[in-house]
Amino acid sequence: MKFNVITLFPETVECLTNYSILGRAVGSKIVEIQTHNLRDFGLGKRKQVDDTPYGGGAGMVLKVDVLNAALEKVRSDNPGTYAVLLTPKGKKYSQKAAKSLANQRNITLICGHYEGFDERVRDLVDAELSIGDYVLSGGEIATAAVIDSVSRLIPGVLGKDKSTEEESFEGGLLEYPHYTNPREYKGKEVPEVLLSGNHREIEKWRKGQAEKITKKKRPDLKG
Ligand code: 6GU
């Protein structure tokens, strides 16, 4: 799986993606992340990427011609890439959307900044995604969230015996609770069933807990 990222802050994306599980996936070449500095496509001596908004108002707007030049270059090197704009106005990102993106072979993520994009940028992409109902200063953190959540669904990225099948959001449920040593901590004991060695009972308990927790914390999930 290859991710291209068009951004004014390539180091930010690299530092958010080059560690832990994702860093290992990149190291073992299961996942490739190529950043493209939008500044390189800027216009004129000053490599201009943004301009003041028509109609007035605060802030700067990323230019459609500059973004198009960057995207055209990425598309020519990555035929068929699926282009995604990260923006608070996009469709809300979810585990379901992550699974759908994991079926792509090549994804291009475009990070906005400042007040936003020229509206005509929307015509250049295949999808617009938001990672939640709050505003980030730029798309880099959102991009890292998408790359991480998609990558861990790709076979070989998680360890051999690790599986995403029991994780939160599978089957519309939050995951069951985990415990490790010590067996007793400040008066709180590890549930007896987990010490029983009875795997059928443990599985039943975990399923029950997942349903209970989901109902309590996230009644909006289907359950
Ligand atoms: Cl994708 N971008 C920005 N700038 N803010 C956001 C977002 C994306 N998703 C939620 N807030």
Where does the pLDDT of residue 159 fall: very low under 50, low under 70, confident under 90, or very high at 90 and above? confident
Dist CA 140 CA 36 (whole Å)? 12
- % of the chain exceeding 70 in pLDDT: 98
Identify the residue whose C-alpha is closest to ligand 1 atom 5.
136
Dist CA 118 CA 88 (whole Å)? 14
Say if residues 82 and 107 touch (Cβ distance below 8 Å).
yes
Identify the residue whose C-alpha is closest to ligand 1 atom 8.
87
Locate the ligand 1 atom nearest the alpha carbon of residue 137 and give its number.
4
Q: What is the pLDDT of residues 92-136, one digit of tens each?
A: 999 999 999 999 999 999 999 877 899 999 999 999 999 999 999
CATH code 3.40.1280.10 region(s) in the chain: 2-151
Per-residue model confidence (pLDDT) at position 55: 97
Per-residue model confidence (pLDDT) at position 161: 64
Q: How far is residue 54 CA from its own chain's centroid?
A: 32
Which pTM does this prediction carry?
0.95
Where does the pLDDT of residue 164 fall: very low under 50, low under 70, confident under 90, or very high at 90 and above? confident
Task: Quote the mean pLDDT of the chain.
Answer: 95
* Domain 168-222, classified CATH 2.60.40.10, yes or no: no
Per-residue model confidence (pLDDT) at position 223: 47
CATH of 2-151, one of 3.40.1280.10, 1.10.1450.10, 3.40.50.80, 2.30.29.30: 3.40.1280.10
Residues with CB under 6 Å of ligand 1 are 86-88, 90, 112, 129-132, 134-136, 138-139, 142
Say if residues 147 and 17 touch (Cβ distance below 8 Å).
yes
CATH code 1.10.1270.20 region(s) in the chain: 168-222
Q: What is the best residue among 91, 111, 135, 149 to mutate for testing ligand 1's pocket, by most ligand atoms within 8 Å of CB?
A: 135
CA 129–ligand 1 middle distance (angstroms): 8
